[in-house]
Amino acid sequence: MSRPYIAVIGRDESGRFIPIEGRPYHDKEWLEEMYIRQHLSTNVIGEICQVSPTTIRYFINKFKINIRSCNTLNRVVPIKDENWCKRISEAKKGHLAWNKGIPRKAETKKKVSKGLEKFHKNNPNFQRGPNNHRWKGGITPEDIQIRSSKKYIDWRKAVYARDEYVCVKCGDNKGGNLSAHHVLSFRDYPEERFALDNGVTLCVPCHNEVY
């Protein structure tokens, strides 16, 4: 199958697309020509412009260019040799990210936080256990599994909140210096592990003294 855009863009002797100087992807008409009419993928356009596909997708969205459906894609996989990453890195030197120095708005932070909270609430086992790509058959010790579970984290937060985030022994209230201590041993009394009355807030030094 012939690809008419090959002649427009061109390849070098090794078969790689010939890079274009400047930032042509900042031009809506050029980007539409490459993406819509020439059917180049964001990977290929990124290779030609010596930027990442994410940058190309950003400008496609910015210019409100219609995203092609999967059945209309004429995919071309860029040729990547061992120096491909090095060439991309060298090409991007001196290019500042579009959002560098722009603080995220409080409203945006709130939306992201609520979105993540809702997602993890509806997907409690997301990337946990067999759902994680690094799953090795369940070799993590039981106590670590429990202490990293949502149920345990919620219990710890409840203990902190009840004690107003203050060490009940010395009154320390420094952030990041507190620990939820089990009055009845975590190991010997599994039935009391998540009982609110079985937990007290201690600072790290006081917690170490208990042990």
Residue 46 CA from chain centroid, whole number: 21
Q: What is the pLDDT of residue 7?
A: 38
For residue 20, the tally of other CB atoms under 10 A from its CB is 16
Going from the C-alpha of 123 to that of each of 98, 99, 132, the distances in angstroms are 32, 30, 13
pLDDT at 101: 87
CB 48 within 8 A of CB 20: yes
Q: Give the confidence band of 22 by pLDDT, cuts at 50, 70, 90.
A: confident
pLDDT in tens, 52-98: 999 999 999 999 998 876 555 545 445 556 677 788 788 888 888 88
Taking the C-alpha atoms of 145, 200, 164 and 159 in order, what is their torsion angle to the nearest 10 degrees? Answer: 30
- Tell me: pLDDT of 156 over 80: yes
Q: Kindly state the tokens that stand for 3.
A: 């690809």
Nearest of 187, 179, 184 to residue 205 by alpha carbon: 179
Task: Select, from the ranges 3-12, 36-45, 87-96, 193-202, the one with the highest average predicted confidence (pLDDT).
Answer: 193-202
- pLDDT, residue 5, reads 39
Answer whether residue 123 shows pLDDT above 90: no
CB crowding 82-97: b at 16 or more within 10 Å, else e: eeeeeeeeeeeeeeee
Across the strands, what pairs with 201?
180
Instruction: For the chain, give the mean pLDDT.
Output: 83
